[in-house]
A = this chain, B = another copy of it.
Amino acid sequence: MNPSEGALPGHFYLVGVGPGSPDLLTLRAVAVIRSCAVLVAPRSESSSESLALQVAAAYIDKQEVIERIYPMARNQQQTESCWAAVADVIAARCQDGRSVAHLTIGDPLLYSTAGYLMEQIAARMPRERWHVVPGISAFQTAAAIARQRLTLQNDRLMVMPATCIPDVEAALTSCETLALYKVGPRLKQLAAMLKRHNLAAQAYLVARACQPGKELVLQGLDSITSEEIGYMSTVIVPVGHRPWTRTGEGG
């Protein structure tokens, strides 16, 4: 593929549109979106519009746009049949010689609905006809907004959802930087646990990143009073630093 020149007929692209700012897409993502015949985007049941389509709006003109509601229920079978149906539509359009791009927020390979779709596409299309265009992920954006280094030298970075606080607590011992997604309703619980480990003051939260006027950066989680942190929030916990220890280690 030569994606800088745009999408090829009959090819499919899983495109990450980044964290939400129209200028944080890669040039490749923009080239693929602009030149595609068909754009597919997921939309949650609770939203009136696909967030990914909103982010890419400036690059959408005459493309056919297909929005699909994806199931939020944790029902494996329901999820699979939903994505199978979307994959059928995509494979049919490609079979007709059209180029198709599926847009998701962030990076398609990191906690993205694109991960479900990919399995279905791999079962329907030859490997050389579908591609992944990476995108800036939320943890990178959060650290960039807070201007904080994530890793250096021997540091280990752990990225995980904050869905289970004991799991998060366990992770503190195996990394130097911890990036937490899906914090939303567990923020108070998380802050209390971090306090017990003396890590609350150095932890920071970024919510609604790239939404002008709504972006929230909270340096220090030691005085959390609100529970009103939305779904699109990231907490980063700088746990420690592992310097180079031995000579001869790769630089």
CB distance from A183 to the nearest CB of B (A): 8
A147 close to B118 (CB less than 8 A): yes
Q: Give which listed residue, B119, B131, B162, B250, contacts A186 with CB less than 8 A.
A: B250
Distance A237 CA – B175 CA, assembled complex (angstroms): 17
Is there a chain B Cβ closer than 8 Å to A220's Cβ? no
Bound: A243/B175 CA distance, A: 22
Chain A residues with a Cβ closer than 8 Å to the other chain, count:
77
A23 in contact (CB, < 8 A): yes
Which residues on B sit within 8 Å (CB–CB) of A60? none
Q: Of B23, B26, B143, B245, which is within 8 A of A24 by CB?
A: B26
Interface residues of A in 75-104 (CB under 8 A from B): 76
Interface string of A8-39 (1 = CB under 8 A from B): 00000000001001111111101100000000
Residues of B within 8 A of A136 (CB): 26, 134-136
Residue contact B24 to A134, C-beta cutoff 8 Å: yes
Please, which residue of chain B has its CB at the minimum distance from the CB of A174?
A: B174
Least CB separation from A250: chain B residue: B182
Chain B CB within 8 A of A151 CB: yes
A 228-250 contacts with B by CB, 8 A: 231, 243-247, 249-250
Q: Choose the segment among A61-69, A153-161, A197-205 that binds chain B (4+ C-beta atoms closer than 8 Å).
A: A153-161
Are B161's CB and A159's CB within 8 A? no
Determine which of B25, B115, B251 lies in contact with A72 in the assembled complex, contact meaning CB atoms within 8 Å.
B251
Q: Given contacts A4-B23, A152-B115, is CB(A158)–CB(B158) below 8 Å?
A: yes
Q: Is the CB of A109 within 8 A of B154?
A: no
A107-B140, A186-B250 given; name 5 further pairs at CB < 8 Å: A23-B28, A133-B144, A134-B144, A156-B167, A158-B175
List 10 tightest A-B contacts by C-beta distance, closest first: A4-B23, A132-B144, A156-B160, A182-B250, A134-B140, A23-B28, A174-B174, A163-B249, A115-B149, A23-B27
21 A-B residue pairs with CB within 8 Å: A3-B23, A18-B26, A26-B26, A27-B27, A27-B30, A109-B140, A109-B148, A111-B155, A116-B152, A118-B147, A131-B144, A132-B147, A134-B140, A154-B160, A156-B158, A156-B167, A157-B160, A158-B159, A163-B246, A164-B249, A185-B250
